Amino acid sequence: MFVDIDGVRLFFDALNPKLDIDGAGLKEKRMLLCLPGGPGGDHQTMRPFFDRFTRVAQVIYLDPRGGGRSGYGDPHDWTLDRWGDDIAAFCDALGVDKPIVLGVSGGSLMVQAYLARHPRHAGGAILINPCSRMTQDGLVAAYDKAGGADAGAAARAMYGKPTTEDYAAFFKICLPLYSTRRDLSSLSASRGRTQMNPAATERFFAADGEAWRFDHRAGLAQVQNPVLAVIGEHDPVTPATWGKEVAEALPKVELALFENASHLIYADDPDRLTAVIEAFIARIG
């Protein structure tokens, strides 16, 4: 399904009804809007794991502009501010009041932009692998800590001006570090279903890209809704210290630290992640 937001068609998919039949009446579910990693990502990278939350919410997946099955539009609009505004506009277009908005990795950056620019819009938010700012040296150090000097060198090349060989080295050396269990099966299984836009990722992480300029901390201090921040202790992509900085900036936050997880928390500790998210949704109603 598509909705037009400021001249760009955004793709979304809804897994279950908002109104459940409850005897002779109806029971309304809160909407859980899910944003994938990226930028340039596809919601299929989140499936089927996040499908399970249909038990407690109406799950809607959204491909942000410039990624997945959504229209790409002007590359100059591939910015966190634009993606954040799109989230608010998407919910308004569908008539959704007080959504719970969940973002994973790069999606969590978009959700933070949405929260900072529209601090009273959401009913709640779930940030998985968040960071409020990034540095190249910090990323390299995190990979070096997780995988040694070779991983650090591969990361430095990847977040500079990567060649084809640099991409190959990163995928070989660094990608396994995304999971403490070295379980990349979810990534492999979704590869044939996804429609990624590498150009959006490369633009964001370019030497002069927005990845090294954004800072959400001041905006997060104005957020009025409850937020769940989910962090993997051994995550080299968005290190735990960066995730804790996000939590420190938020007025109403619950911090869930997964001591035995890396970036793919749903692969490393799926049962606890499920329980933590479902409990948060139940608490905010």
Residue 200: CATH number of its domain: 3.40.50.1820
DSSP-derived secondary structure letter, 209: S
Tokens representing 142?
A: 């995190």
pLDDT reading at 191 higher than 90 = no
pLDDT reading at 66 higher than 90 = yes
| Residue at which a domain ends, from 178, 193, 212 | 178
197 & 280 share domain: yes
Domain holding 31, by residue range, is 2-133+184-284
Tokens representing 44?
A: 């299929």
Tokens representing 259?
A: 């001591």
173 & 223 share domain: no
42 & 108 share domain: yes
* Confidence tier at 23 by pLDDT (50, 70, 90): confident
**Whole-angstrom distance, CA of residue 7 vs CA of residue 3:** 10
104 & 209 share domain: yes
| 37, 125, 219, 229, 285 from 67: Cα distances, Å | 10, 22, 25, 24, 31
pLDDT reading at 269 higher than 90 = yes
pTM for the whole thing?
Answer: 0.96
**Whole-angstrom distance, CA of residue 88 vs CA of residue 227:** 16
| Residue at which a domain ends, from 123, 148, 178 | 178
Give first-to-last CA distance, the chain, whole Å: 27
CA dihedral 121, 1, 186, 111 (to 10 degrees): -20
Give the model's pLDDT for residue 184.
Answer: 92
Q: How many CA atoms lie within 13 A of 211 on its CB side?
A: 25
Q: Among 21-30, 51-60, 122-131, 205-214, whose mean pLDDT is lowest?
A: 21-30
pLDDT reading at 272 higher than 90 = yes
Structural domains counted in the chain: 2
Tell me which residue of 86, 142, 99 sits closest to 262, measured CA to CA.
Answer: 142
194 & 89 share domain: yes
Torsion over CA: 228, 223, 56, 190 (sign):
negative
Torsion over CA: 115, 72, 42, 28 (sign):
positive
23 & 61 share domain: yes
| Residue at which a domain ends, from 159, 178, 197 | 178
